[in-house]
Structure formats: C-alpha cells, structure tokens
Amino acid sequence: MNVDWTYDTPPGIADSAEFPQRDFLGDTGRIAAALRDVGLLPQVLSSLALANVWYVPGRSLCAIYEGRDGPRPVLAAVHFARWPASGVAPAGHGGTWVPALGADVLLFPHDANLPDLGRLVDLDVLPPLGDAPAVSWTVLSYLPGARCTVAYAEASQRMIAVGKMQKGAPATYRQMQQLWLSPARDFAMAEPLAVDPAHGIRWERFVPGERVDRIADDARRSAATEAAMTALARLHGLPLDGLPLRSARVVFERAARKVAKRVRAALPTLDASTVALCDELVGRLPSLDDRPAVTLHGDFHTANVLFDGRTPGFIDLDELALGDPAYDLALFASRLLLVGLVNPDRARQAAGLAQDLPALYENAGGHSIPDDVFAWYVATLLLGRQVKTCIRHCVPRLDGLCATLLAWAHETVRAGRVDATLYSPGASPV
C-alpha cells in the first residue's frame, strides 16, 4: 500500500452487514488458521501479514495476505463474499471456498482473470535484467484480476529489476524509453529494460532509495522534498511525443465525479458535503489554455519518489501525460497532507511543505503556479485521490479520515490558496 496503514480498528462504514469480514481484516492469526484448516497453507507457515486491501463499495472486498514457506513467498488473495451468511461464494474467481472466512481464496500466482500471471514470476523465462541472473522474487503490489508488480533479486539479495503486468504495457514501455533516452534528462528514473507485448509484461531496472514518506528525520524529509521539486522541474521541461492530455476537466471528471459515487455508497453521511465540493470545484475549473502544458509524471506522490541521501529517483512513471504542472505538485501536496493526518507527529511539517511546494518548484526553475490554481488542484485531489485511496483500501477510521479530508478540500478551494494553518492537527475530527 502507498500509505502504511495499521488495521487495528474497523473502518467505520455505514453498512456493516454487507461485508462484516471487515472487522477482522487485521486479525492475521485468524486468517492463517482458517487457511491452514482447509489445506491452503502449510502447517509450518505460522503467520501471515496483511499486504493490501481492495474495496469497492457495494461490489467487492479483497485482502492480500503474505508469508513465507522457507525461501518461497506465499500470497493469498482472499475475496470476501457479500452477505457471507448466505454461503454463496463471490463469482468469477474460481478459488477455494473457506466457510470460516466467508471467502473465496486463491493462492498466487493463480488468477482466473490474469491467466499469464505465473509468467511474471517464472525465473526461467525472464529476459536479461542485469549482470547477474535473478534468483528470487517479491511481490510489491497486486490487484487481483488487474495488475501485479514484482521485484527480482540476485543471489546476494540485491534487488536488480522490477516486472509489471498491466494494461497498456507496450505503450508505457515506449513512453519510458523516450524519456530515458532524452539527452536533456538529468534526474534518476527506472530504466526500461524489456517488454513482452503478448503477455502484457514490461521490466525496468530497480531504483534504490527510501520513500519520501518513510524518511523518519524531518530535516532529511524536507531536503528530499526540495530535491524532488528540482527534479520535477527538469521533468516538466522535457518534451515527449504522444502523451495523452490531462486537462483540469479531465482531472475533475476522472477523479472527483467517480469518487463521489464511492463516497455515497460507503459513507452516505458525507454525500452532501461531497456533492457541494464538486459543485464548487466545477464552478472554479481552471483553463489549461491559460496555463503551460508540460510533461507530467502523472502519479507524483510521496511513495513514488525515492531518495538515496543525495538525489531523488522517480518510479511508477506509468501515467506520463501532458497537463498543468500544478497537477503533479498538488498530488504530492495532497498525499503529504494525508500522511500527516495518519501520522500526527508529522502533521505540522506536512502542512508546511504542502504550502511551500510551489515556491520550491519555482526556485528550482519550474513554472510559476498561481495560488488559486494550486488550491483548486489540491482540493480536487484531496477528494479524487486521497479520499479515494482511503475508501479503496477500506482503512481504519475511514469515516473520520474522509470527513477531515473533505473539510480540508472545502477550506482550500474557498480560501483560494494552500495555507498550512488550514490543516492544523487541532482542526482534525479524527
């Protein structure tokens, strides 16, 4: 997960009967025992860890649990049934029904909707990925039926490459090649290594470094953020061919409108606030005609910037696009605010960094970002990305987190600026 959640309390969703299994998502001992009882896990595997949760209100709830059987990674995709008392398994997965969990369970890499997933972790069919062959793999991210990312290590356990199975892999590979080969590029990124169009897989070199949001020291985190703004300004200055346009209207329609439906389903008490926010946002929609259109990272949040103590490295460049530079800055700022909300000891610094990003970016050679444009994008992405990620991962204290994020979005768009005082810990109802 891109935010380090701790599933120590239930999420606080209105309809607790639909997926009552939400109450024990974090009880990994209970999950492991149930899977051992039906023979899905070896008896010697004593524990599991919760790796991710995927939730679509009214439709599906899936949790990914991981452990190790000796040197072999073990992943279980647990698809929980709606109304489990009915004993009817969720359709379309083809796994093993586990009555104690009210869930259909698949062991990785078996996935009826990703039939070629095993190829991603078959070390015998990998293309050359470095000086030494890959001898082991680790799953970094997995959304059953949709996509998967794994990291490969050589014999010394040094990570050497990343493989991704995802929609549009060939096009993404071509775009990343274009960026990698640009003579003006002067920042670190994942080097594209190979692509397998027939199976929707591409490989890139592993980028070492620490995620910005996992840097414990305030001074190092601040230095990493400033360095990231310098690198981002360089990226924005590189022209790339064939990128999709991401205008403010596209951002609004793809993010806010779709997320509003999920808020209505999962947190109906916040529906009126969400509708009012969307009305405010659409009424203040900025025009890209009046703004520079630059090469965007497209997924520029704190988990996709790695820092080795000297230089930042960009990963997950899967959503390169053409659009307002304020988009990348606002996505980074809105994620800083969410991380600060989840980790109150970082809240004050997160708010200050979010406020200062446009100045840091402009001082590094980036475009000038007007206050009201930055505020609009931050407010939109607090809803469209941060509320979305909270619901998507069915996180603890979901209702309180989303209420705070929506309140901050309202205050930001009405103020017409990103002001650190709007996001003080004391203002949070969580």
Q: Could you give the C-alpha distances from 366 to 135, 202, 221, 238, in angstroms and in order?
A: 42, 31, 21, 12
Per-residue pLDDT tens over the stretch 216-227: 899 999 999 999
User: Pairing mode, if any, of strands 147-153 and 321-323?
Assistant: unpaired
Taking only the tens place, the pLDDT of each residue in 174-214 is 999 999 999 999 899 999 999 999 999 999 999 999 999 99
Query: Does the structure show a pLDDT above 70 at 15?
Result: no
Mean pLDDT of 371-397: 96
pLDDT in tens, 338-350: 999 999 999 999 9
pLDDT at 430 over 80: no
And the tokens for 109?
Answer: 């890499």
The string over 197-217, giving b where at least 16 C-beta atoms fall within 10 Å of a residue's C-beta and e elsewhere, is: eebbbbbbbbbebbbbbebee
- Evaluate whether 77 touches 98 at the Cβ level (below 8 Å): no
428 pLDDT higher than 50: no
**So what's the pLDDT on residue 425?**
56
pLDDT (0 to 100) of residue 16: 62
105 has a pLDDT exceeding 90: yes
Are 165 and 150 a contacting pair, CB within 8 Å? Answer: no
* Whole-angstrom distance, CA of residue 261 vs CA of residue 255: 11
Q: Alpha carbon of 169 to those of 94, 136, 140, 239, 280: distances in Å?
A: 26, 23, 17, 21, 37
Question: What pLDDT sits at residue 255?
Answer: 78
- What is the secondary structure of 128-192 as a DSSP string? P-SSS---EEEEEEEETTTEEEEEEE-TT--EEEEEEE-TTHHHHHHHHHHHHH-TT--SEEPPE
pLDDT for position 429? 43
What mean pLDDT do residues 389-413 have?
95
- What pLDDT sits at residue 13? 77
Q: According to the model, what pLDDT value does residue 44 have?
A: 67
User: What digits encode the pLDDT tens for the residues 279-327?
Assistant: 999 999 998 778 889 999 999 999 999 998 888 999 999 999 999 999 9
pTM of the full structure: 0.95
Query: Structural domain boundaries of the chain?
Result: 1-108, 111-207, 210-427
Strand order across the beta sheet in which 294-296 lies = 245-246, 321-323, 294-296
Q: What is the pLDDT of residue 202?
A: 97
Query: CATH number of the domain at 210-427, please?
Result: 3.90.1200.10
Is residue 170 within 8 A of residue 195, CB to CB? The reply is yes
| pLDDT category of residue 2 using cuts at 50, 70 and 90 | confident
Distance CA 306, CA 312 (A): 5
* CATH number of the structural domain 111-207: 3.30.200
Asked whether the predicted pLDDT for residue 351 surpasses 80, the reply is yes
Q: Which residue has the higher pLDDT, 389 or 255?
A: 389
E strand or H helix at 220: helix 218-236
**pLDDT one-digit tens code per residue, 40-51:** 988 767 689 999
Predicted confidence (pLDDT) per residue in 56-104, tens digit: 998 899 999 999 887 789 999 999 998 887 777 777 788 999 999 999 9
Question: Which pLDDT score is estimated for 200?
Answer: 96
CB neighbours of residue 219 within 10 Å: 9
- Alpha-carbon distance of 3 to 253, in angstroms, equals 24
Question: Are 111-207 and 210-427 in the same CATH fold?
Answer: no
How much is the average pLDDT of 26-30?
92
For residue 161, count CB atoms less than 10 angstroms from its CB and return exposed for 0-12, middle for 13-18, buried for 19 or more.
Answer: buried
At 125-170, the pLDDT tens digits run 999 998 889 999 999 999 999 999 999 999 999 999 999 999 999 9
- Structural element, H or E, at residue 68: strand 60-69
